[in-house]
Amino acid sequence: MAIGNPDILGDRQSGQDVRTQNVMACQAVANIVKSSLGPVGLDKMLVDDIGDVTITNDGATILKMLEVEHPAAKVLVELAELQDREVGDGTTSVVIIAAELLKRANDLVRNKIHPTSIISGYRLAMREACKYIDEKLAVKVEKLGKDTLINCAKTSMSSKLIAGDSDFFASLVVEAVQAVKMTNARGEIKYPIKGINILKAHGKSAKDSYLLKGYALNTGRAAQGMPMRVSPAKIACLDFNLQKTKMQMGIQVLVTDPRELEKIRQREADMTKERIEKLLKAGANVVLTTKGIDDMALKASFSLINCVQYFVEAGAIAVRRVRKEDLRHVAKATGATAVSTFADMEGEETFDSSFLGYADEVVEERIADDDVIMIKGTKTSSAVSLILRGANDYMLDEMDRALHDALSIVKRALESNTVVAGGGAVEAALSVYLEYLATTLGSREQLAIAEFAESLLIIPKVLAVNAAKDATELVAKLRAYHHTAQTKADKKHLSSMGLDLSKGVVRNNLEAGVIEPAMSKVKILQFATEAAITILRIDDMIKLVKDESQNGED
């Protein structure tokens, strides 16, 4: 069908059709992750096009691995990724809420309410909800003591594979996050969890995982002759090859005398030798490079050139093929500068000792069947490594994802210092509050806010359904408690009532230790509302079709 201009070919859908289609696509995405929410959520098995299997119930991972075609559904996938980047946990909840908001908005549009009114209603509801969380529901961490952090980690892990051992892993996570505590230039206390390296090693059981003080690199020394440990360590971080220097592409060397060839070869080998000597002269006794280090004995006419040999003789440890990400973390932790070339401003090759980083010791240890280089006692920020043990790859990968979520949540709880009760408590409280708020408004936003309030109940509903409990009854009880908490001044403590999904009852989740950072909830509401609004604004979809006739002319 031609659109406006008769030369443009494509499909055009507009108005209600496109809205319904978008909402259906988002519902489909949300339904995929819905059953994985909560402490009794189920896992998904994803098989990609080359047959690799992933077993997980992490919302962001599931959605990342789906090949989503529909443009509106892609917004939800990006939404989960954004939540994962910003908070690290709550990826499933954010998608479910966004889809529910859309579904209800679509019903309102069908009832002849203009999308603009719904959008302004949703925005108002979101602002009020975030304000209510901050003022009424959030509890300062200092009041709850150290157990708070462990409970946050346990709540985050409760839906994951390692839920059975959550006591053990929660204390590991809290210890790891507190180990990387640092104060930045502005005097704020930060917990850079990127400084926590997670290494996966097969064998033993999950309970045999442990925390190592120091940054672990999943690679061994470049040669057996090198020392096993160096102390104190001066570390050079390089991002180039320490192999025999080759001529650049496109450089021609015309040789008239064949005897000159040997000299060229010799010079190539000597250049690398000089580089290594510069490194060792600057005082480096540990060299990490992202590329290779030559250990081929190149028979030149009068000497054996072996780069590794220089390091062995100097009693230094050299490590090759270090991941760039690891190199960056090591450089940051030890105060080193990652160097990508030896050339200085004058075009000479130099290596200054100020580029070196410092650590108490660098040792090679054996974990399971792999050699691991451990960098201990780093200079600037402390680095720790979590060594995970488990039966197979799927298990280890899922443990890694679960710990990433838990680490992020503990970091957020520490940095924001406020937590809220989990298990649907916040959603139920907001739902009751917003419903009342809607009745006080005389404008057309009233309906949108009431629907927003209704949408939030999807979280406790899904939690109860996944736990095979009677959702209708539980949610009704939950709302009754929250209504009492908000209307009677002496019943304020009821505002942390949430679901206990193993027994199928309503309980005080703050006391039971089911808690999450307040920031996580606020972000979930903000992101879900923004995503819903983005999709709701669309009322026209034009798909252009490739014009076949022009291909021949090209």
CATH number at residue 125: 1.10.560.10
In this structure, is residue 168 part of a structural domain? no
Query: How far from chain centre, in Å, is Cα 295?
Result: 38
The enclosing H or E element of 96 equals helix 91-110
131 and 14 in a common domain: yes
Q: Return the structure tokens found at 156.
A: 């985050």
372 and 251 in a common domain: yes
In this structure, is residue 196 part of a structural domain? no
User: Please, is 190 exposed, middle or buried when counting C-beta atoms within 10 Å of its C-beta (0-12, 13-18, 19+)?
Assistant: middle
List all residues 6 or more positions away from 405 whose beta carbon is below 8 Å from its beta carbon: 58, 88, 89, 156, 157, 160
pLDDT, position 245: 65
In this structure, is residue 186 part of a structural domain? no
Amino acid at 6: P
Domain count across the chain = 2
425 and 358 in a common domain: no
In this structure, is residue 398 part of a structural domain? no
Q: Catalytic amino acids? A: 58, 91-92, 405
The model carries a pTM of 0.82
Q: If pLDDT is split at 50, 70 and 90, which confidence band does 358 have?
A: confident
160 vs 57: CA distance, rounded Å: 7
Given 381, 402, 437, which residue is the final one in a domain? Answer: 381
Range of the domain at 221: 215-381
346 and 220 in a common domain: yes
* pLDDT tens-digit map of 240-286: 777 666 667 777 778 888 777 777 777 777 777 777 778 788 888 88
In this structure, is residue 66 part of a structural domain? yes
Given 330, 358, 381, which residue is the final one in a domain? Answer: 381
For residue 187, the SS3 value is: coil
Residue 298 pLDDT greater than 50, yes or no: no
Residue 471 pLDDT greater than 50, yes or no: yes
* pLDDT tens-digit map of 189-214: 888 888 788 888 887 888 888 888 87
456 and 367 in a common domain: no
pLDDT, position 302: 35
Helices of type H across 372-517: 393-416, 425-440, 445-456, 458-466, 471-487, 509-512
pLDDT, position 527: 93
What average pLDDT does the structure give for the chain? 83
In this structure, is residue 310 part of a structural domain? yes
Return the sign of the alpha-carbon dihedral for residues 23, 25, 31, 33: negative
Q: Return the structure tokens found at 490.
A: 């002496």
* Residue 194: Cβ within 10 Å count: 12
Q: Which residue has the higher pLDDT, 265 or 2?
A: 265
369 and 267 in a common domain: yes
CATH number at residue 349: 3.50.7.10
Instruction: Kindly list the distances between the CA atom of residue 403 and the CA atoms of 175, 182, 208, 230, in Å, as whole numbers in the listed order.
Output: 13, 21, 15, 31
